[in-house]
A and B are shown apart, each in its own frame.
Chain A
Amino acid sequence: MADLATLTSRITDALGDAVVDQGEARGTLVVRVRPDAWRSTAEIARRSLGFDYLSFIAGIDWMPAPVVGLVEGDTSTPAQPSDMTFGVGGSAGRFQVFAHVQSTAQHTGVTFRTDVDEADPRVESWVSVYPGADWHERECWEMYGFVFEGHPSLRHLYLPSEFEGHPLRKDFPLLAREVKPWPGLTDVEPMPGGDDEAGEEGAA
């Protein structure tokens, strides 16, 4: 495995001014690039830097999720912080697209990230560089609503064609949880021996 610092300098030298920020996520390099340099980043990664393997392309919505039906002291339902914070490399807004590419010969990998405008979510498509981006971008469109320019046919991948909405956005409600909220911890029986450690992991 190559040293992270050498990898970082190779990538930032090759990308030049397309890089907005970079950071490290527990041993993985994360490089945030300008939105208009998204496709050229892919081309440089594949052709000059030798990253021939596309792992995934996904989106992320940094808006904090609205909390539904949370009971005070209930440990079996997670409560996310209600302020919007961003991850490694920061973000300009609510939406981002991130992709991970790897090199099968040098055994290294890097995650690229870019911002997506909330009002007009358009991203350049990677299909002409990595053919496997086809399905990943269809999934991203379906789940978040990002329009990938240059993609041959952006249509539903997982969901039925009549499905309305983009499920992975934080404001898409999980209606089952709103109609009948998760009841929280029930059946907390003390284990033989006294303490009730068994009850803290609520059943799925």
Chain B
Amino acid sequence: MGLADSGLLQKPAAKPLTWLLNYSRKYSIWMFQWGLACCAIEMGAALASPRYDMMRLGVIPFPASPRQADLVVISGTVTDKMAPAIRRLYEQMPDPKYVISMGSCANCGGPYWDSYSVTKGIDQILPIDVYVPGCPPRPEALIEAVVMLQERIQNEGIGNDEMRKRWLGEPVNVG
């Protein structure tokens, strides 16, 4: 982003501009259309079913490629075999990118905590913004996670230093 790199957004006069840029970013999140396991079905129900329609929040699951996605939702069990692939998919996403960890398998290994082939939580390999507990979490819980993420995005600074500070922030738990 040219504005951020050139330092124009650091000045205090740029606050309304930052607010506007964040506002437009948070309501046009492009979500990576990809799910791993059972939580992916709930994610599909949250997005595609007319009852829990998440597209009204601006979250459109168009991209089937990570190179055009802003948000990835890790929905399902992460196995040791799949973990390098997930890391590679995450690195293919352009900045600024967000990760929601959905379901207890992605949070901490879940019901398979003692398995020999399950990674105990995706936060071992990716930085997470929002954790959604549940097995599987209801679509409403995922919608709340997205709303919380949108609040986070709204309050972000988008100067270069602020962006780096984001990675040191605390993740949000959906209550």
Contact = CB atoms under 8 A, between A and B. Distances in A.
A contacting B, Cβ–Cβ less than 8 Å = yes
Q: Which 5 A-B pairs have the closest CB atoms?
A: A176-B114, A160-B81, A204-B111, A177-B114, A174-B114
Interface string A132-163: 00000000000000000000000000111000
A1 B166 CA distance: 66
A13 B67 CA distance: 65
Given A160-B81, A177-B114, 6 more contacts: A158-B117, A159-B81, A160-B80, A172-B116, A176-B114, A176-B120
Nearest to B81: A160
- Overall SS of chain B's interface: loop
Q: Among the interface residues B111, B117, B120, which one has the most CB atoms of the partner chain A within 10 A?
A: B117
Nearest to A182: B114
Nearest to B114: A176
Interface of B: 80-81, 111, 113-117, 120
B115 A176 contact: yes
A96 to B, nearest CB: 22
Interface residues of A, number: 11
Nearest to B118: A176
Q: Among the interface residues B115, B116, B117, B120, which one has the most CB atoms of the partner chain A within 10 A?
A: B116
A5 interface: no
Contacts of A159: 81, 117
A167 interface: yes
A2 interface: no
Contacts of A119: none
A167 B116 contact: yes
Nearest to B111: A204
A27 to B, nearest CB: 31
A167 B113 CA distance: 16
